Structure 1
Amino acid sequence: MVETYARPRFGEPREPTNRVNPGSRLMRVIDFITASHARSIAFLALCGLLLFLPGFFNIPPIDRDEARFAQATKQMVETGDFVDIRFQDDVRYKKPVGIYWLQSAAVETASALGLPRAALRIWIYRIPSLIGAIGAVLLTYWTALAFVTRRGAVLSALLLGSSVLLGVEARLAKTDAMLLLTVVAAMGALARVYLSWQRGEDPEHPPWAWPAIFWTALAGGILLKGPLILMFAGLTIITLAILDRSANWLWRLRPLWGLMWMLVLVLPWFVAIFWRAGDAFFADSIGGDMLSKLSAQESHGAPPGVYLLLFWITFWPGAPLAAMAAPAVWRARREPGAQYLLAWLIPSWIVFELVLTKLPHYVLPLYPAIAILTVGALERRVLSRSWLRRGAAWWFAIPALTSVIAVIGAVTLTRQPVFLAWPFVGAALIFGLFAWWLFEDNRAERSLLNAVVAAMFLAFAIYGVVLPALTPLFPSAEVARALRNVVCVGPKAAAAGFQEPSLVFMTGTSTVLTDGSGAADFLNQGSCRFALVEARSERSFAQRAEAIGLRYNVATRIEGYNISQGRAISVAIFRSEGTE
């Protein structure tokens, strides 16, 4: 079609439009916000806080990854050893040290500011993820400015920020939100270098800023998650070189200086860990973690196509628009801007679909490219008018389905209907319905803004109210609360049957992980000791206690649900009364 991304083309920003949809307050807000970069940045940062802060402080540690990262960081702070990475006595060499340093800095800062028990507050460990998520939203705005108008850049950043997947990662104390920040920074700088070459700008005096951002971001990504960031950049570069039959533009990245700078940033810790542990880190991280993902690691195997199916949920509320934009994006695939974004997106997506181990967050670094491509089509009024328009109903369907599941789940687990969440749920349904009913090809922006507001209210309902109320899903928090209420000084604990990382994080690094008989022996070794015994281990505990003449009583019993194993549990907290 002739209208495919008609002027301006991808990579050629156009002048801001003055069109306003009469009667739309959200549109007038965007008109005001996008009048300057400062307003746009402040607005996006505020939206990030509104989207990511609900539940940030009061959702307990999530098993297993978040609790493992947090516990390893806590041990760094406790021991003062910021080179080695350990979970209790076991080495944890799956990922490099970057996220642990960032979390340690957050804990140390909170302690220095006088926050009591800072090392036990999981939200402090989540601060780097929050910063990473908001930073990624702002960097998506910066990256999008190379392709679309300032208004379009704000909408692209909103698409990413309101996505379900980033909302989850912003609340988890692990690597993926910060990795996203580094990837967007690197790919935004790379885009500017590539597009400047496509426009024929002066190759003799390329700016230093873009290469500096690119190589520094690569170093940060490597320290966070190893060479994964190199795959995103490398596949993009290779794809563009094949399509253009040239890679001369890479010299604008100042690769010799850049490689040296990247090595200066990453080598010190890698040398230090090699000095400490020999090749154990490289064997575990590359051989034990990365290469093992080629097979179905930790029962996370799935066939190709799973990420495409999950996309409808994980990229909501942007998914319907992305589907409507897809035909126009493909028609524009040889335009420089669209070509770059598709080179960022498609090769890496194919790799993730082919790798057997699949987790939803793996494709998160590709979502900024989808957001920018989608808004590019939206701005140029070339969204599909085919059956894909029916996807607009998804703006209402997700809040409706989520609300039903949340209420049923709350009633089932707690026998409480969480009435506090209902006003937020109602608002999410109303704005989702507006987004669906008001959708028109030439006013898709209005629907998108309504969908983003629906996502905000849904975040308040689910993360801010419902999840914190589902206490049976967080038995470790209940166990830790029970231990804090004991009258003796310095309680020690041993766990049998229920041994999730969150339990170690919340009850202390010294918590002994054992079996039922081992818990009885532990209880027999002194006062102010507690055995945390899951129901399936109680028989062996009782038999061993009888054999050694241990007298004990049940301090309390915690009923809950182990989300890692998908089963109900019952944890008895036994306290010794002495021996016969």
Structure 2
Amino acid sequence: MSETYARPRFGQPREPQKKVDRGSRLVDLLDFVATSHVRSVAFLVLCGFLLFLPGFFSIPPIDRDEARFAQATKQMVETGDFVDIRFQDDVRYKKPVGIYWMQAAAVEAASALHLPRAQVRIWIYRVPSLIGAFGAMLLTYWTALAFVTRRGAVLAALIMGSSVLLGVEARLAKTDAMLLLTVVAAMGAMARVYLSWQRGEDDPHPPWSWPAIFWTALAGGILIKGPLILMFVALTVAMLAFFDRSLTWLWRLRPVWGLMWLLVLVLPWFIAIFWRAGDAFFTDSIGGDMLSKLAAQESHGMPPGLYLLLFWLTFWPGAPLAAMAAPAVWRARREPGAQFLLAWLVPSWIVFEAVLTKLPHYVLPLYPAIAILTIGALERRVLSRSWLTSGTAWWFIIPALASLAAVVGAVSVTRQPVFLAWPFVAAALIFGLFAWWLYDDNRAERSLMNAVVAALFLAFAIYGVVVPALTPLFPSAEVARALRNVVCVGPKAAAAGFHEPSLVFMTGTSTLLTDGSGAADFLAQGSCRFALIEQRAERSFAQRAEAIGLRYDVASRVEGYNISQGRAISIAIFRSEGTE
């Protein structure tokens, strides 16, 4: 006999009941790990390693955001200035200092362990994102325990951990995975306070742990990405107040002590940066970054509905089940658990759809709520049996399309079929096919587990094998490799025509970003200097070199593709031979 679960009300998990049908070996594994918290957490940690580590160490720096964050952190470590945020000589005041401190700590730890060239190993800067992805997965489990059974909480965490969007963010040295961790922690703590109030629990001495987690998570979120986390919390509270006509439960979060604790954590750096730069940080971060998104000033303006369209890809493999759960969630919308999760999800989603600037990762902090709502409907066996069940084909379609795109892309970019990826591709297709064919609304866990395994093999194929093999997409890494092989001490470089942040990160903070004429002047100023000239800037470089009598030679040439601008490039590495 194995275990299934009675249909719990959202926010009121019940004990498991017995059932006869085991479903599959994957479901047996789920039953086994769900027998204790220790097994559940250990299983999720193992799944996290399998889902997040492929490609983590081998994918070069990605332009542009990741390379900008990493370079700014690198300069903090180089200068020892952990207050100011700069990219070369320019201030970078779009985001607070939190993620830079975390990345700097990772770099300093690696250096203390005598890891060679720690400051230019991009995977070290990705460690906070990896921790954020792991933490978000485990905190989704913790949060889900307030709404569903332990078995359901494991499934919710698996949905979150295997989602395409979190897999991408776990491998990028930027803010979003760590922001997700803080949001889930805050929402998990707030959910426990709210549900205890809804159940009528009137403890005169409520525990300090939930308020402590809540306010610490808020402080962390503010230091990582400014007031965005406050929007999620405020909109959730406002919607709950609208439905309940009461906010008395907020006092259980101990707001007076909590606000004091938040200010203790947050104010020191904001005071320090104000002392250093005046109001420049607040002007750039709030006016130049946050408010500019309302007007789509970052060339990412899209109409409402984009996030709903992208959801089918970014939340795969959980998206088909989420669609089938939607009708049941709507019917349960006034139940305390569903009401809280919808208050977390719906208002913020509407805001993101209304804002003109749209990037896929903006809605990531809302995905845990969708995962838990989906599992709540699954446990109650109320998934839709309508035309929405046709969406189960998506479990096979995504691996098929992704595998085809990966193989075709690898052949077109590298002229190599990347055979090593094929076994992983085949496994992803097989498990995706099983997830589709074996779907039964009474045993949906079986299909979901197969889909998670398909996502795992897809991660090995794409992140672990195909992307690292696409070396032409990462010309900065090739240029840096060429400069490391030169026979001189302390090479200096100037770049013309290719100014991507990854180049500065890989070749050094002192790399001069100029035009062809400026690169020629730079080359004439001494030995062990190199001009990195993109083909479109070679003419101006040659004209200026002739004018100043500069003799130069081509050390090597890098052919590649600028993914930020979407065009092929050819970078010649010139070295001076003196002047006439």
Bin of the TM-score, shorter chain as denominator length: over 0.9
Aligned positions, number: 576
- CA distance in structure 1 between the partners assigned to 2:77 and 2:93 by the alignment: 17
Residue equivalent to 1:464: 464
Residue equivalent to 1:152: 152
Residue equivalent to 2:534: 534
Residue equivalent to 2:123: 123
Q: Which amino acid aligns with 2:378?
A: L
Does the 8 Å contact 1:193/1:249 carry over to 2? yes
- CA distance in structure 1 between the partners assigned to 2:41 and 2:172 by the alignment: 24
Alignment map for 1:99-498 (pairs within 5 Å): 99-498=99-498
> Cα deviation per residue 1:212-270 (whole Å; 9 max; x = unaligned)?
10000000000000000000000000000011111111111110110010000000000
Q: Residue 298 of structure 1 aligns to a residue in which SS?
A: coil
- CA distance in structure 1 between the partners assigned to 2:297 and 2:51 by the alignment: 32
- CA distance in structure 1 between the partners assigned to 2:426 and 2:297 by the alignment: 40
> Cα deviation per residue 1:36-83 (whole Å; 9 max; x = unaligned)?
000000110110110000000000000000000000000000000000
- CA distance in structure 2 between the partners assigned to 1:265 and 1:163 by the alignment: 32
Residue equivalent to 1:577: 577
Instruction: Pick closer, same or farther for the CA change 1:141–1:567 going to 2, 3 Å.
Output: same
- CA distance in structure 2 between the partners assigned to 1:476 and 1:298 by the alignment: 24
> Cα deviation per residue 1:411-464 (whole Å; 9 max; x = unaligned)?
000000000000000000000000000001101000000000000000000000
Residue equivalent to 1:522: 522
- CA distance in structure 2 between the partners assigned to 1:508 and 1:531 by the alignment: 14
- CA distance in structure 1 between the partners assigned to 2:577 and 2:142 by the alignment: 64
Superposition TM-score, scaled by structure 1 size: 0.98
Q: Which amino acid aligns with 2:57?
A: F
- CA distance in structure 2 between the partners assigned to 1:503 and 1:542 by the alignment: 22
- CA distance in structure 2 between the partners assigned to 1:201 and 1:80 by the alignment: 51
Does the 8 Å contact 2:6/2:17 carry over to 1? no
- CA distance in structure 1 between the partners assigned to 2:280 and 2:566 by the alignment: 32
Q: Residue 298 of structure 2 aligns to a residue in which SS?
A: helix
Alpha-carbon distance, 1:382 to partner: 0.3
Superposition TM-score, scaled by structure 2 size: 0.98
Does the 8 Å contact 1:11/1:148 carry over to 2? yes
Alpha-carbon distance, 1:296 to partner: 1.0
Q: Which amino acid aligns with 1:34?
A: A
Q: Residue 572 of structure 1 aligns to a residue in which SS?
A: strand
Alpha-carbon distance, 1:555 to partner: 0.7
Residue equivalent to 2:87: 87
- CA distance in structure 2 between the partners assigned to 1:426 and 1:321 by the alignment: 23
- CA distance in structure 2 between the partners assigned to 1:25 and 1:203 by the alignment: 43
- CA distance in structure 2 between the partners assigned to 1:90 and 1:106 by the alignment: 24
Alpha-carbon distance, 1:204 to partner: 2.3
Alpha-carbon distance, 1:205 to partner: 1.8
Does the 8 Å contact 1:68/1:87 carry over to 2? yes
Runs of 4+ in 1 over 2 A off after TM superposition: 5-8, 16-23
- CA distance in structure 2 between the partners assigned to 1:34 and 1:385 by the alignment: 27
Alpha-carbon distance, 1:6 to partner: 8.6
Alpha-carbon distance, 1:534 to partner: 0.4
- CA distance in structure 1 between the partners assigned to 2:7 and 2:538 by the alignment: 72
The answer for unaligned runs of 5 or more in structure 1 is none
Residue equivalent to 2:44: 44
Residue equivalent to 1:502: 502
Q: Residue 58 of structure 2 aligns to a residue in which SS?
A: coil
- CA distance in structure 1 between the partners assigned to 2:52 and 2:6 by the alignment: 36
Alpha-carbon distance, 1:298 to partner: 1.8
Does the 8 Å contact 2:67/2:505 carry over to 1? yes
Does the 8 Å contact 1:197/1:203 carry over to 2? no
Q: Which amino acid aligns with 1:243?
A: F
Q: Residue 553 of structure 2 aligns to a residue in which SS?
A: strand
The answer for unaligned runs of 5 or more in structure 2 is none
- CA distance in structure 2 between the partners assigned to 1:502 and 1:20 by the alignment: 56
- CA distance in structure 1 between the partners assigned to 2:19 and 2:426 by the alignment: 31
Q: Residue 290 of structure 1 aligns to a residue in which SS?
A: helix
Alpha-carbon distance, 1:203 to partner: 4.5
- CA distance in structure 2 between the partners assigned to 1:24 and 1:387 by the alignment: 25
Quick check: 1:551 aligned with 2:551? yes
- CA distance in structure 1 between the partners assigned to 2:273 and 2:184 by the alignment: 28
CA RMSD of aligned residues (A): 1.0
- CA distance in structure 1 between the partners assigned to 2:496 and 2:188 by the alignment: 49
- CA distance in structure 1 between the partners assigned to 2:61 and 2:454 by the alignment: 26
Q: Residue 577 of structure 2 aligns to a residue in which SS?
A: strand
Alpha-carbon distance, 1:206 to partner: 1.6
Residue equivalent to 2:11: 11
Task: Return 289-298 or 12-21, whichever deviates more.
Answer: 12-21
Does the 8 Å contact 2:8/2:376 carry over to 1? no
Does the 8 Å contact 1:203/1:252 carry over to 2? no
Alpha-carbon distance, 1:23 to partner: 5.9
Alignment map for 1:22-61 (pairs within 5 Å): 22=22, 24-61=24-61
- CA distance in structure 1 between the partners assigned to 2:297 and 2:121 by the alignment: 30
- CA distance in structure 2 between the partners assigned to 1:276 and 1:16 by the alignment: 58
- CA distance in structure 2 between the partners assigned to 1:336 and 1:297 by the alignment: 40
Q: Residue 554 of structure 1 aligns to a residue in which SS?
A: strand
Does the 8 Å contact 2:15/2:149 carry over to 1? yes
Q: Which amino acid aligns with 1:423?
A: P
Q: Residue 299 of structure 1 aligns to a residue in which SS?
A: coil
Alpha-carbon distance, 1:16 to partner: 2.4
Q: Residue 404 of structure 1 aligns to a residue in which SS?
A: helix
Q: Which amino acid aligns with 1:305?
A: G
Instruction: Pick closer, same or farther for the CA change 1:126–1:493 going to 2, 3 Å.
Output: same
- CA distance in structure 2 between the partners assigned to 1:372 and 1:552 by the alignment: 63
- CA distance in structure 2 between the partners assigned to 1:21 and 1:177 by the alignment: 38
- CA distance in structure 1 between the partners assigned to 2:459 and 2:253 by the alignment: 40
Does the 8 Å contact 2:7/2:381 carry over to 1? no
Q: Which amino acid aligns with 2:476?
A: S
> Cα deviation per residue 1:324-348 (whole Å; 9 max; x = unaligned)?
0000000100000000000000000
- CA distance in structure 2 between the partners assigned to 1:403 and 1:21 by the alignment: 34
Q: Which amino acid aligns with 1:188?
A: G
Q: Which amino acid aligns with 1:299?
A: S
- CA distance in structure 1 between the partners assigned to 2:284 and 2:240 by the alignment: 33
Does the 8 Å contact 1:11/1:336 carry over to 2? yes
Q: Residue 558 of structure 1 aligns to a residue in which SS?
A: strand
Residue equivalent to 1:98: 98
Instruction: Pick closer, same or farther for the CA change 1:17–1:123 going to 2, 3 Å.
Output: farther
Instruction: Pick closer, same or farther for the CA change 1:336–1:78 going to 2, 3 Å.
Output: same
- CA distance in structure 2 between the partners assigned to 1:113 and 1:488 by the alignment: 28
Q: Which amino acid aligns with 2:333?
A: R
Alpha-carbon distance, 1:202 to partner: 1.3
Q: Which amino acid aligns with 2:509?
A: T
Does the 8 Å contact 1:516/1:533 carry over to 2? yes
Alpha-carbon distance, 1:547 to partner: 0.3
Task: Return 295-304 or 307-316, whichever deviates more.
Answer: 295-304
Does the 8 Å contact 2:6/2:15 carry over to 1? no
Does the 8 Å contact 1:21/1:27 carry over to 2? no
